[in-house]
Amino acid sequence: MSLTKSQFKQNFKRRLKDDLALDIDEASYFDMYKVLAGMVKSAYNQNWHHTWRSYDQQHKKQLYYFSIEFLPGRMLQSNLFNMGWLEIVKDGMKELGVDFEKVVEQENDMALGNGGLGRLASSFMDALASDGYAGNGNGIRYKYGLFKQKFIDGYQVELPNNWLNEGNVWEERRETHSVLVRFGGQVYLQPKNGQLKPVYEGSQLVKAVPYDTGMVGYENGVVNTLRLWDAEIPEDEESKYRTIDDLRRVEDLTSVLYPDDSTEDGRRMRIRQEYFFVSAGLQSILNHYLEKYDQPLTKLDQYVAVHINDTHPSMAIAELMRLLMDEHGLGWEDAWQVTVNVMSYTNHTIMAEAMERWDINMMQQEVPRILQIIQEIDRRFVLSLEGKYDQNFINRTRIIANNQVHMAHLAIIGSHSINGVAKLHTELLKKEVLHDFYRLYPERFNNKTNGVTLRRWMAIDNPRLAAILDQEIGSDWRKNPLELEKLLKYRSNNKVLDQLIAAKQANKRDLAKFIKQQTGIEVSSKAIFDVQIKRLHAYKRQLLNLLRIVKLYQDLKANPNADIYPRVFIFGAKAAPSYQYAKAVIKCINEVANLVNNDPDIHDKLKVVFLENYNVSLADRIIPAADVSEQISLASKEASGTSNMKLMANGALTVATMDGANIEIHDYVGDDNIFTFGLSSQEVYRYYADNSYHASEYYENDPVIHRVVDAFVDGTIPNISMEGREIFESLVQYNGDQFFVLRDFESYLKAQDKVDQAYRNPKHWAQMSLINTANAGHFSSDLTIDRYVDDVWKLTPNK
């Protein structure tokens, strides 16, 4: 896909004319975006075609990553980058007098995910293609992406995100690959040719239409496929859809992404969504396998791996059983063996409320045949344990209990591999959360620490840093992320350290300009940029950060000359619309921001900036400019975290609890290059065991905590009479403060004091920062994918 600058300029102008009948000076930025994206797509289409043809010809084993969320963000720049065109196009645009950044900004974020889990799925798509593996995505083409967040009077307001409004250049509707998905009605089993076959009555068929998007590998010619499904009414079934309700139930299947990654909101619709994309995906995989690979289904596991990203796609296990038995005539035993060998499962959280359990009656109504098969899986599972394990153990591990279907149990029983997403998380799964299953299937459990697309977060988003790296250690780190370690040689090289300092300063100036534009708040790029960007959740403890800001404010009010190094606190976070407490925290942060930013006594020593609508493209802007990365979840609660990795790669220093992947970051950079604090996960579990944490004692006995917490109810922070009260009460009750905010407060203050001191020595700070960047290669999703490929999916790379 080679292209010279003059070719690019010529083609671009010609296509503006051919496609839109416009000259450059007549075209809007959106016109230019569409034309440029069209050029990119036609250029990679040949490779796309070639890639799938070669998989078919070689009968290559293919992975299908089933995920209810994908979060690629904007794709123009990353496609250009992966094709090796980015610099040419940037230069060419400049020569044509076009502001390239404005063109990039025309693209709506593809935001079909909530947070970490969805972003991980997309980074895996990039890594699979870039490592040259046959790995595809399977998901839902939501009409509305994750809501747009606005702040009105400091409150979060959710607006619809109609991202498809202006069309989506990247996708291709593949009508001929449509399949039918059956919902509802009654099902009976009847003998036929010596087997029991289902007979359906009163069920409804929905047409699933795939929209495919090319997933372009980094400079290797590989283009894999992300297949997202849309729901339509089948032409010859129209008469069965009589009421508005019928129509709406089909539309709803692909209309909204549930804006909550931790509760079972909208249960019935969620069950339908899950079954919809799982059934459509598996049908299309089997159709393709039978047509192009022409092998018996008993060998499916040699050619196909299906990955279940958290429990949302776990009905895949029952659906594959159904397809193999009902549609293709395999017996139970054969079908089960193939299914378990094909399926693998990742758990992303230990939070009990995020563990999906579906009401058995609801499943009966929506997916009756699937429930039947799950019941049979459950019956056989129980049978296999009887006599070997006591009844309690069986009740704890079986899939169906108390009229609920436990989806994680289904995923575990039906998969050959179960992984956590960081070392600690996997250990907690084995020792605590899934301990019973670990006893049953120790060989199935393994760890796969998450990773991030370093090319995006470093090379594309932080060209200043990338230029220094390229010059000092060469550009191989883009392909071999561990090459970043070569940077360690320069830890005492003043020239390199000065360059790093200058690059960070320039990035901070860019962000300061953006902040001014977006919020009107003036911030100094000389201050410490202290960043906490992630979903708003009690366990992530944005509140801990906020309590410290309140304390600093109080300190400065008492003594305006207090020796506090200037700091800008930058937040980005969405709260699930139904999550009252999280929304109260947002309101409080916004009110503290108002108070602090406008108080002349503070002399600009503190600024608080809560940027609206945190999403991938906002992360693209913030991360290169961060000095400090807040990773302060209560130990044991954050399965891995991934913003911790992106931020360290960009040279931010982490203030960290010993949680999730923070522990592994700490292991690589060493004690001196990270600021750790707080309880360990063992200590947290000890508190749970003896029920000995009493938040009220901290409130009563610690005058600093007392004063800070009172600020939420005594009028210090204005306009939060309801929200302040809610937070106050959640903290000070005898058994309150579920996430030990007050317990970790003092330790957090100490860690932050160290940050404050360390930042005063710019050379030493730059050195620590360099050590973080140099160790970030370990957290490349390219390497994570290599480990999945070797241990779980058993794929072979492309030639």
Q: Write out the residues near ligand AZC by the rule CB under 6 A.
A: 115-117, 120, 261-262, 310, 348-349, 354, 421, 450, 638-642, 660
Check: CB of residue 190 under 8 Å from CB of residue 221: no
Q: Does the annotation mark 346 as catalytic?
A: no
Number of neighbours of residue 331 by Cβ within 10 angstroms = 10
Structure tokens at 142: 């939501």
Which of 448, 540, 548, 743 is an active site residue? 540
Residue among 137 and 660 whose Cβ is closer to ligand AZC: 660
Which of 61, 430, 646, 778 is an active site residue? 646
Residue among 397 and 640 whose Cβ is closer to ligand AZC: 640
- Please report, for residues 335, 352, 451, the alpha-carbon distance to residue 657 in angstroms, rounded to integers and kept in the order given: 45, 21, 19
Least distance to ligand AZC from the beta carbon of 261, Å? 4
Which of 272, 348, 508, 587 is an active site residue? 348
Least distance to ligand AZC from the beta carbon of 624, Å? 21
Give the C-alpha separation, 707 to 548, whole Å. 11
Give the C-alpha separation, 229 to 770, whole Å. 44
Residue among 450 and 615 whose Cβ is closer to ligand AZC: 450
Least distance to ligand AZC from the beta carbon of 230, Å? 24
Give the C-alpha separation, 502 to 499, whole Å. 5
Which of 535, 567, 605, 743 is an active site residue? 535
Residue among 507 and 644 whose Cβ is closer to ligand AZC: 644
Number of neighbours of residue 549 by Cβ within 10 angstroms = 20
Check: CB of residue 66 under 8 Å from CB of residue 273: no
Check: CB of residue 467 under 8 Å from CB of residue 477: no
* CA 654 to mean position of chain CA atoms: 20
Least distance to ligand AZC from the beta carbon of 740, Å? 18
Residue among 223 and 271 whose Cβ is closer to ligand AZC: 271
Q: Does the annotation mark 540 as catalytic?
A: yes
Q: Does the annotation mark 60 as catalytic?
A: no
Which residues make beta-bridge pairs with 155? Answer: 152
Residue among 210 and 451 whose Cβ is closer to ligand AZC: 451
Give the C-alpha separation, 355 to 311, whole Å. 8
Residues with Cβ within 8 Å of residue 763, at least 6 apart in sequence: 494, 497
> Helix (H, G, I), strand (E, B), or coil: what is residue 232?
strand
Residue 562 CB-density burial (10 A; 0-12 exposed, 13-18 middle, 19+ buried)? exposed
Give the C-alpha separation, 223 to 217, whole Å. 6
Which of 357, 534, 583, 778 is an active site residue? 534
Q: Does the annotation mark 646 as catalytic?
A: yes
Least distance to ligand AZC from the beta carbon of 644, Å? 9
Residue among 640 and 716 whose Cβ is closer to ligand AZC: 640
Residue among 139 and 210 whose Cβ is closer to ligand AZC: 139
Check: CB of residue 313 under 8 Å from CB of residue 65: no
Q: Does the annotation mark 41 as catalytic?
A: no
> Helix (H, G, I), strand (E, B), or coil: what is residue 656?
strand
Residue among 301 and 638 whose Cβ is closer to ligand AZC: 638
| Residue 244 identity (one-letter amino acid) | I
Check: CB of residue 527 under 8 Å from CB of residue 564: no
Residue among 279 and 636 whose Cβ is closer to ligand AZC: 636
Least distance to ligand AZC from the beta carbon of 421, Å? 4
Find where tokens 């992947």 sit.
661
Give the C-alpha separation, 58 to 72, whole Å. 29
- Please report, for residues 86, 230, 757, 781, the alpha-carbon distance to residue 169 in angstroms, rounded to integers and kept in the order given: 18, 16, 50, 26
Least distance to ligand AZC from the beta carbon of 138, Å? 18
Residue among 171 and 638 whose Cβ is closer to ligand AZC: 638
Least distance to ligand AZC from the beta carbon of 452, Å? 10
- Please report, for residues 269, 335, 360, 361, the alpha-carbon distance to residue 371 in angstroms, rounded to integers and kept in the order given: 16, 17, 8, 9
Cα three-residue angle 691-693-694, rounded to 5 degrees: 115
Q: Tell which residue, 20, 83, 10, 11, has the closest CA to residue 46.
A: 83
- Please report, for residues 25, 156, 227, 318, the alpha-carbon distance to residue 300 in angstroms, rounded to integers and kept in the order given: 55, 48, 20, 16
Least distance to ligand AZC from the beta carbon of 495, Å? 36
Residue number of the CB closest to ligand AZC reads 116
Least distance to ligand AZC from the beta carbon of 73, Å? 15
Check: CB of residue 184 under 8 Å from CB of residue 366: yes
Q: Tell which residue, 5, 28, 31, has the closest CA to residue 18.
A: 31
Q: Does the annotation mark 13 as catalytic?
A: no
The secondary structure of residue 452, as a DSSP letter, is B
Least distance to ligand AZC from the beta carbon of 634, Å? 12
Q: Tell which residue, 773, 52, 121, has the closest CA to residue 462.
A: 773
Least distance to ligand AZC from the beta carbon of 88, Å? 34
Least distance to ligand AZC from the beta carbon of 581, Å? 17
The secondary structure of residue 114, as a DSSP letter, is -
Output the DSSP codes for 717-755. STT-HHHHHHHHHHHHSTT--TT-HHHHHHHHHHHHHHH
- Please report, for residues 95, 444, 627, 668, 682, the alpha-carbon distance to residue 671 in angstroms, rounded to integers and kept in the order given: 48, 33, 18, 9, 19
Check: CB of residue 521 under 8 Å from CB of residue 607: yes
Residue among 51 and 644 whose Cβ is closer to ligand AZC: 644
Residue among 132 and 641 whose Cβ is closer to ligand AZC: 641
Helix (H) or strand (E) segment spanning residue 155:
strand 155-161
**Residue 294: left (phi > 0), alpha (psi -120 to 50), or beta?**
left
Number of neighbours of residue 764 by Cβ within 10 angstroms = 13
Which of 225, 642, 716, 773 is an active site residue? 642
Instruction: Show which residues are catalytic.
Output: 348, 534-535, 540, 642, 646
